[in-house]
Amino acid sequence: MNTEKNPISIYMAPLQEYTDAVYRNAHFRLFGGVNKYFAPYLVLQNDGSVKKSTWRDILPENNPNVLPVPQILAGTSNEFATLANKIHELGYREMNWNLGCPYPMVTRRGRGSGLLPHPGRIREILDKAFTLPEINLSVKLRAGQESKDELFPVLEVLNDFPVTEIILHPRIAKDLYKGEADRKLFAEAKEICQHPLIYNGDITTADDATNFTEQENISTIMIGRGILQNPFLAGEINGTSVPDPKEKNQLLREFHAEVYSAYAERLNGFSHQHMRMIKFWSYFSENFPEPRKAMKKVKKATSDAKYDAAVGEAFRQFEW
Ligand SMILES: Cc1cc2nc3c(=O)[nH]c(=O)nc-3n(C[C@H](O)[C@H](O)[C@H](O)COP(=O)(O)O)c2cc1C
């Protein structure tokens, strides 16, 4: 556990369809420990609009407990300006640019990690971006699209602009989530990066977070799947909340109930709600003594009543 004198700041990573407003606001209220929540990316559709569900996700009225940092996926300065202006109009003064998304659907259009082999384009976009009003911009990136050699020219470009911070997930896009995040590469990047460099990738325990931040002499990390699997993780790392097993069980129940009822309000019908909850359980089930068993029952439920019964049974695992 980290001492109070030197707390670690934790950023919650954006995961499309997992860390939405429902999830973030419930997590903040019940578990805390996270200093900033990043919203999954907004992107322009072919008709120039933003998909309704992702737009609703960042509306301040849908984020009553904690405002996220909105993230944009933009491959040209026009796309960047359109999205940045829309977000600015909502009152946000901080946003994040996604240079990491690895999926071909995105990279083929020169967005996300598709920009990493083109530092010149990144420079052009940033040249225009910093003429926009009141923009506090951070960047989240992978180590490259095809090769880790792409990282250093991009960091050199970013050094020339007043970005607030850079979050590095040190894997190349081609590898998706295979293998291990390259922590040595992060250490090398820190040597040349003139902005605060934040590490992201594969942190799932408080010990790992503490050891790594000490070793690298950094004070901020971003965590995604580790928090989805263990919503207490941020609190465990920075010592803000350490509940006993009974309290933990109660918090997990409340968390589930809050997320489930929020989806019931927002989504149309059990099957949509169920699909969303299956995503939630794909990580949440890791909190249970028998994760697979819990997941299997929840997945099979075909009605509200059957889902409730499956959830009841999963929580009874704690009583054995
Ligand atoms: C299903 C899924 C959706 C994701 N969506 C986004 C996204 O919208 N924006 C983004 O910057 N990263 C996204 N990511 C990447 C995560 O933010 C994060 O960088 C990655 O999971 C590594 O961190 P972790 O090992 O702590 O989970 C996504 C990852 C997954 C698995």
Burial class (CB in 10 A: 0-12, 13-18, 19+), 158: buried
The structural domain count of the chain equals 2
pLDDT at 3: 44
Q: Which residues are catalytic?
A: 101
Final residue of a structural domain among 238, 272, 295: 238
Judgement on whether residues 185 and 221 belong to the same structural domain of the protein: yes
Q: Are residues 85 and 158 in the same domain?
A: yes
102 alpha carbon – ligand 1 mean position (Å): 10
Is 1 among the domain residues? no
Containing H/E element for 96?
strand 94-99
Domain housing 194: 9-238
Ligand 1 contact via 213 beta carbon (within 6 Å): no
Pocket probe for ligand 1: among 11, 12, 16, the residue whose CB has the most ligand atoms within 8 Å is 16
Closest CA to 216 of 191, 187, 185, 193: 187
Question: Does the beta carbon of 25 sit less than 6 angstroms from any atom of ligand 1?
Answer: no
Q: Which pLDDT score, from 0 to 100, does residue 312 have? A: 95
Please identify every stretch of the chain with a pLDDT value under 50, giving residue numbers as ranges: 1-3, 5
Please name the residue whose Cα sits nearest to atom 6 of ligand 1.
15
From the number of C-beta atoms within 10 Å of its C-beta (0-12, 13-18, 19+), residue 120 rates as exposed
Residue 207 and residue 65 share a domain: yes
pLDDT at 241: 76
45 and 112, same domain (yes or no) = yes
**Are residues 46 and 75 located together in one domain of the fold?**
yes
Q: Give domain status of residue 3, yes or no.
A: no
As given in the structure block, the two tokens for residue 65 are: 């407990």
Sign of the dihedral through C-alpha 131, 134, 136, 139: negative
- Of 238, 267, 299, the residue that ends a domain is 238
Note whether residue 288 is domain-resident.
Answer: yes
Q: What is the CATH number of the domain that holds 138?
A: 3.20.20.70
102 shares a domain with 79: yes
The neighbouring-strand residues paired with 41 are 71
Note the pLDDT of residue 320: 53
Judge if 234 and 258 occupy the same domain: no
Residue 28 Cα distances to 11, 39, 255, angstroms: 12, 13, 10
The closest-lying atom of ligand 1 relative to the alpha carbon of residue 223 is 26
In this structure, the answer to whether residues 175 and 26 fall within a common structural domain is yes
Same domain, 66 and 171: yes
What whole-number percentage of the chain has pLDDT above 70?
Answer: 98
**What confidence score (pLDDT) does residue 307 get?**
96
Same domain, 287 and 201: no
pLDDT in tens, 63-105: 999 999 999 999 999 999 999 999 999 999 999 999 999 999 9
- Whether ipTM tops 0.95, in short, is yes
SS3 label, residue 240: coil
